[in-house]
Amino acid sequence: MHKGIVTIFGADGFLGHHVVRAAVKDGWRVRAVVRRPHTTPELRVIGSVGQVQIVQGNIRYPQSISTALEGVDAVINLVGILHKSGDNTFDSVHHEGAKNIGEAATTAGITNVVHVSALGADTESNSKYLASKAHGEIALHAVCPSADIMRPSVLFGKGDGFFTKFARLATLSPIMPLIYSGKTRFQPVYVGDVAKAIAARIREGSTGQIYELGGPNTYSMKELMKFVLNAVDRRRPLLPVPWPALWVMGFFYEFWAAIPLVNLLIKPMITRDQLRALRTDNVVSGQYPGLEALGIDGKTIEAIVPPSLIAYRKYGQFHDIITE
């Protein structure tokens, strides 16, 4: 039996695929809003026939949002960017985009809204990413006070943008660079657990609560680099990289990623804004409820990540056999 219709903005992303599956499993009909419908045919086969509808939309355009919210019962916003690309800036996506969704939801009479922000969101942050996330939260609550806000730490899971990135680096680079000597701490959270948390809130109905979502354990960046190297069975020295070198590297990554067409091929390994964000630990503050409050027993990186990185071992799935 269907619970109703939920519109999911950013359904084609890493987290989006998991949220769509969680919503479908819960009995919702899903209206998946993406910018390029032709690139996400796999969403159509989730659930029963017709349970997932893919529509084109962009949260930077209010009319696009209003159309996507016609006749729906709940709204989930997962849209986010890690670096600027054309008209997609931190402010236009994280701040104005969140505000646009809140205004459209309120106009449509929808109070069941869940918005994904980021752990560490702070209007005073030197990171434009984290500051824009915080401004988005404020703007959303100003027009839609019932919206729940999720602040996840670094997401992990098969195909993630964190562990997979460093596993790939371990296959290409003779060293593993340590930013700020690898002292920054993280609390990685399983993408499936975050999807469950979001599904739980739209199931119950949002109440304007903020949730900080972190995994069971915290790690320093250095510990995570060692974990990745062990998972892919490769030996690389961990070397601190001087700040000026990182800054120059970030500049050139951003330069190439800003060029039309080239940005389709090159994704920045690190940006200057991410370097600013890495000055602060990415762990839950304890001031807000988390996974436990939603009845979710968080999975560890040790249980999930190693099998997902098998392809980056020297002999792939046959590595253990060949190296015996």
Q: pLDDT-based confidence at 244, cuts 50/70/90? A: confident
Give the whole-angstrom CA distance, residue 291 versus residue 279.
25
* Residue for token pair 């590595």: 319
Between these two residues, 38 and 226, which has the higher pLDDT value?
A: 226
* Residue for token pair 């992990």: 156
Per-domain residue ranges of the chain = 5-153+189-214+282-296
Average pLDDT over residues 58-77: 97
- Whether pLDDT at 4 is above 70: yes
Give the whole-angstrom CA distance, residue 248 versus residue 270.
10
Question: What pLDDT does residue 317 have?
Answer: 60
pLDDT tens-digit profile of 89-133?
Answer: 999 999 999 999 999 999 999 999 999 999 999 999 999 999 999
Q: pLDDT-based confidence at 1, cuts 50/70/90? A: very low
Say what the pTM is: 0.93
Q: Which residues contact 161 (CB under 8 A, 6 or more apart)?
A: 14, 82, 155
What is the CA angle 82-86-89, rounded to 5?
45
Task: Mean pLDDT check: name the lowest of 21-30, 194-203, 234-243, 313-322.
Answer: 313-322
What percent of the chain is modeled with pLDDT above 70?
A: 93
Write the DSSP symbol of residue 96: I
User: Which residue type, as a one-letter code, is found at position 110?
Assistant: I
Which CATH superfamily hosts domain 5-153+189-214+282-296? Answer: NAD(P)-binding Rossmann-like Domain (3.40.50.720)
Question: What pLDDT does residue 260 have?
Answer: 65
Average pLDDT over residues 184-207: 98
pLDDT tens-digit profile of 141-186?
Answer: 999 999 999 999 999 999 999 999 999 999 988 989 998 999 999 9
Question: What pLDDT does residue 253 have?
Answer: 76
